[in-house]
A and B are shown apart, each in its own frame.
Chain A
Amino acid sequence: GAGVSQSPSNKVTEKGKDVELRCDPISGHTALYWYRQSLGQGLEFLIYFQGNSAPDKSGLPSDRFSAERTGGSVSTLTIQRTQQEDSAVYLCASSSLGRPTDTQYFGPGTRLTVL
């Protein structure tokens, strides 16, 4: 693929339901990041995967949030028991090796609305 892809593009759910958001990084990129973009909070880092290393989960806002990355490629961000404050655009990015100088390429995002 040419770039980072995310699915679904939009997700509407009811409060208390679980949701899964998917990210397909650029082929060959070993580093993958999740960010959240919400009104008032701007863009916030959530979690970072680098190769086979343990992920950096320091940005996850609560234990309702989790993410995994299977086979070093596709990643899924799961939000359990969604709350209205979880409504935001969730952005995924990937970079070739995760070095500080590597460009992070962003996907178009998944807009999550919790009713």
Chain B
Amino acid sequence: AQSVTQPDIHITVSEGASLELRCNYSYGATPYLFWYVQSPGQGLQLLLKYFSGDTLVQGIKGFEAEFKRSQSSFNLRKPSVHWSDAAEYFCAVRGQWGNTPLVFGKGTRLSVIA
């Protein structure tokens, strides 16, 4: 069965520090990969997505993610975190064919301290 694992439930980083959020997936074939962010009381906003090609993808708000097929991973990174990045981050996968729904990880909550 398809599944997404985000090993870190909660991460705290200092403003200006670098960030890496981990995501591992289990899927029958290479899926499409997504990162979403959810601020308190808000819906989910797409940060970036990977379909094919260059395994390093750039997203909004200065985020990037790298797809590593050998590790079944799609980790999210940001070189310098801002206080406004405090939110919940969700990794998700979807099949490349047919009308399959998004399968989400359980999320990582990011806190940013001064």
Contacts and interface: CB of A to CB of B under 8 A. Distances in A.
B32 interface: yes
A11 to B, nearest CB: 15
A1 interface: no
A103 B103 contact: no
Contacts of B107: 42-43
Interface stretch (B15-23, B42-50, B68-76): B42-50
Interface string B51-88: 10000000000000000000000000000000000000
Interface string A46-60: 001010000010010
A48 B36 CA distance: 19
A106 B92 CA distance: 14
B23 to A, nearest CB: 13
Nearest to A101: B51
A100 B49 contact: no
Contacts of A59: 101
A101 B107 CA distance: 22
Contacts of B12: none
Given A42-B105, A43-B104, A50 B99 contact: yes
Interface residues of A, number: 25
A109 interface: yes
Contact of A108 (B41, B49, B97): B41
Contacts, number: 55
A96 B8 CA distance: 33
B90 A43 contact: yes
A91 B43 contact: yes
Nearest to A46: B101
A109 to B, nearest CB: 6
Interface of A: 3-4, 31, 33, 35, 42-45, 48, 50, 56, 59, 91, 93, 98, 100-101, 103-109
19 contacts: A3-B43, A35-B101, A35-B102, A43-B90, A43-B102, A43-B104, A43-B107, A44-B104, A45-B103, A93-B44, A100-B94, A100-B95, A100-B98, A100-B100, A101-B51, A103-B46, A106-B44, A108-B42, A109-B43
